[in-house]
């Protein structure tokens, strides 16, 4: 059996675990909001119409931050449509997803939902059809204590200041599909003006400028450079978005998607630092990886309706995930954690029904997709400092990324506790992994779990919601400062150890 060796040393620190790495995303798209997190009349609905089954699963998922309300949706959105008495709220065309938006759920409901879910809101503003004034109005409504038209309006709606800290200055403005799509200089100027004005109300906001909507975009690299040349002193983060799929059946490359995420993050960090050097600035720009996931165009087409009807909350991109997808999601989280020195925020896109870890049926059950498990476990176990791991692994050959290590891993260390997250990206067979943990002084194996199945295409459905779960990893052993794991082909595992 091929073997790999890893060394964990608490001295090899990268950065503290950033709780905002465990963010997700709620967009007014498909059934993420309507019949996802919100369904008045559902058997589990609370007094606000929020599905309590979904709220519970959101807590179990260990979500820290939720980005809202889009996505592409935000670039045509009027935030004021979604506040105040429901009877007065207009129905609007949503051009991004060719749907009808009822505005039954809006900013006030989202803020209440965040409080109940115990998550921090991350608000995106419309820089597609709107600009500086509307962003300022929204900020006055959400954050100003009172005594002005919009803060008093919020009080009339029964709400105290929301105190939202984290703001996205638009969404994917480099994409020709985006309403109000712009050149990098046009967008950079608008983002800088908006950020500067928003800081006049609240200097301590944390602001995210739009980076490329994928590293495959024609302007990737120059977009980030040109946008940051305009915005560097006014923003804290630049965004990255990445979706990985296996539509072409190249599973070896798909399993190595985290290699691409590593390169993506490092390329954007290098570009941001280059602009910082040009500007002679000591400030460092962070990465807000505010959309990432597995997304299959092919599977989406199977669940999407005709798309030419203007419907309310139609089924859109309801991908059904399998074990292989869960292993890739676990590995993408390893990549995000490994870059904790620069990744300040990350959002799994999305939370419910739309390429989501949580699925629901209208009037019916809610269940966990296989991808739910690595996310929930990583969020629960990662604590303290992220550690760089020295890895010596056999390689897998991939068409897209060349030879890549079969085993990829990251660890965290918190006051005598080690958490290790590892994947075997090979479809060929198991790898015997020996981890030297002697320098961490740990002697007790508290928990070991694995996501793996003889059938890597196994999925969960409403009828069989727990066909794929995280199982006890029986073969994990700790003795004489060495942890040994036999990682089967296409598997993700987590181990927690203590002194
Ligand atoms: O998450 C789905 C969509 O993907 C978002 O609306 C958009 O920002 C991205 O292209």
In a 10 Å sphere around its CB, with 0-12 CB exposed, 13-18 middle and 19+ buried, how is residue 137 labelled? middle
- What residue owns the CA closest to ligand 1's atom 8? 71
Q: Respond yes or no on whether the N-terminal peptide bond of residue 71 is cis (omega within 30° of 0).
A: yes
Confirm or reject: Cβ of 178 under 6 Å from ligand 1. Answer: no
In a 10 Å sphere around its CB, with 0-12 CB exposed, 13-18 middle and 19+ buried, how is residue 463 labelled? exposed
72 alpha carbon – ligand 1 mean position (Å): 6
What pTM did the predictor assign?
0.97
Do 73 and 97 meet the contact criterion of CB atoms below 8 Å apart? yes
Q: Domains of the chain, with CATH numbers?
A: 3-9+387-498 (2.60.40.1180), 18-381 (3.20.20.80)
Pick from 166, 173, 28, 179: nearest CA to 109: 28
109 alpha carbon – ligand 1 mean position (Å): 22
Pick from 116, 16, 32: nearest CA to 318: 32
Dihedral sign from CA coordinates of 84, 86, 87, 88: positive
- What residue owns the CA closest to ligand 1's atom 3? 71
Q: What atom in ligand 1 is closest to the CA of residue 213?
A: 10
Confirm or reject: Cβ of 70 under 6 Å from ligand 1. Answer: yes
Do 244 and 297 meet the contact criterion of CB atoms below 8 Å apart? no
CA pair distance 483, 437, nearest whole angstrom: 7
pLDDT tens for the chain, residues 1 to 499: 999 999 999 999 999 999 999 999 999 999 999 999 999 999 999 999 999 999 999 999 999 999 999 999 999 999 999 999 999 999 999 999 999 999 999 999 999 999 999 999 999 999 999 999 999 999 999 999 999 999 999 999 999 999 999 999 999 999 999 999 999 999 999 999 999 999 999 999 999 999 999 999 999 999 999 999 999 999 999 999 999 999 899 999 999 999 999 999 999 999 999 999 999 999 999 999 999 999 997 766 666 665 668 999 999 999 999 999 999 999 999 999 999 999 999 999 999 999 999 999 999 999 999 999 999 999 999 999 999 998 999 999 999 999 999 999 999 999 999 999 999 999 999 999 999 999 999 999 999 999 999 999 999 999 999 999 999 999 999 999 999 999 999 999 999 999 9
Residues 6+ apart with CB under 8 A from 132: 190, 193, 194, 197
Confirm or reject: Cβ of 71 under 6 Å from ligand 1. Answer: yes
CA pair distance 454, 303, nearest whole angstrom: 26
- What residue owns the CA closest to ligand 1's atom 2? 71
Do 164 and 143 meet the contact criterion of CB atoms below 8 Å apart? yes
- What residue owns the CA closest to ligand 1's atom 7? 71
Q: What atom in ligand 1 is closest to the CA of residue 27?
A: 6
Confirm or reject: Cβ of 340 under 6 Å from ligand 1. Answer: no
Half-sphere exposure of 403 toward its Cβ, with a 13 Å CA cutoff? 3
Pick from 395, 378, 385, 380: nearest CA to 331: 378
Q: What atom in ligand 1 is closest to the CA of residue 96?
A: 6
The number of beta carbons lying within 10 Å of the beta carbon of residue 345 is 28
Do 215 and 242 meet the contact criterion of CB atoms below 8 Å apart? yes
């Amino acid at each position: 059996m091929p073997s790999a060796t890893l060394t964990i040393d608490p001295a090899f620190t990268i950065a503290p675990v950033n709780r905002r790495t465990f963010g997700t995303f709620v967009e007014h798209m498909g059934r993420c909001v309507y019949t996802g997190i919100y369904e008045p009349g559902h058997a589990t609905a609370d007094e606000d119409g929020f599905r309590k089954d979904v709220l519970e699963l959101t807590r179990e998922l260990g979500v820290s931050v939720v980005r809202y309300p889009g996505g592409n949706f935000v670039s045509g959105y009027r935030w004021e449509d979604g506040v105040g008495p429901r009877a007065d709220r207009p129905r609007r065309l949503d051009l991004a997803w060719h749907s009808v938006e009822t505005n039954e759920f809006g900013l006030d409901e989202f803020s209440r939902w965040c409080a109940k879910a115990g998550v921090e809101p991350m608000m995106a503003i419309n820089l597609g059809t709107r600009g500086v004034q509307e962003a300022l109005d929204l900020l006055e409504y959400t954050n100003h204590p009172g005594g002005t038209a919009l803060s008093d309006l919020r009080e009339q709606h029964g709400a105290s200041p929301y105190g939202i800290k984290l703001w996205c200055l638009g969404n994917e403005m480099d994409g020709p599909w985006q309403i109000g799509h712009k050149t990098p200089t046009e967008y950079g100027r608008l983002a800088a003006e908006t950020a500067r004005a928003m800081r006049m109300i609240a200097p301590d906001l944390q602001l995210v400028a739009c980076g490329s909507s994928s590293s495959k975009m024609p302007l990737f690299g120059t977009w980030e450079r040109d946008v940051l040349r305009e915005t560097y002193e006014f923003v804290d983060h630049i965004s990255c978005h990445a979706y990985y799929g296996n539509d072409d059946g190249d599973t070896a490359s798909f399993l190595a998607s985290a290699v691409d995420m590593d390169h993506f993050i490092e390329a954007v960090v290098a570009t941001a630092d280059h602009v910082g050097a040009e500007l002679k600035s000591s400030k460092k720009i962070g990465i807000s990886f505010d959309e990432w996931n597995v997304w299959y165009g092919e599977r989406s087409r199977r669940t999407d309706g005709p798309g030419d009807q203007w419907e309310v909350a139609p089924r859109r991109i309801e991908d059904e995930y399998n074990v292989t997808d869960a292993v890739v999601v676990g590995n993408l989280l390893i990549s995000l954690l490994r870059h904790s020195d620069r990744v300040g925020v990350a959002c799994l896109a999305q939370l419910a029904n739309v390429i989501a870890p949580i699925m629901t049926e209208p009037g019916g059950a809610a269940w966990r997709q296989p991808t739910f498990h690595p996310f929930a476990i990583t969020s629960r176990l990662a604590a303290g400092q992220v550690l760089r791991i020295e890895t010596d692994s056999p390689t897998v050959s991939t068409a897209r990324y060349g030879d890549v290590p079969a085993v990829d891993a990251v660890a965290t260390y918190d006051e005598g506790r080690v958490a290790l997250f590892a994947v075997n990206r090979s479809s060929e067979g198991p790898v015997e992994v020996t981890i030297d943990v002697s320098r961490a002084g740990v002697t007790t194996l508290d928990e070991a779990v694995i996501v793996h199945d003889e059938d890597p295409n196994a999925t969960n459905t409403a009828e069989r919601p727990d066909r794929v779960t995280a199982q006890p990893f029986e073969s994990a052993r700790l003795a004489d400062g060495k942890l040994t794991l036999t990682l089967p082909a296409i598997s993700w595992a987590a181990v927690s150890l203590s002194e």
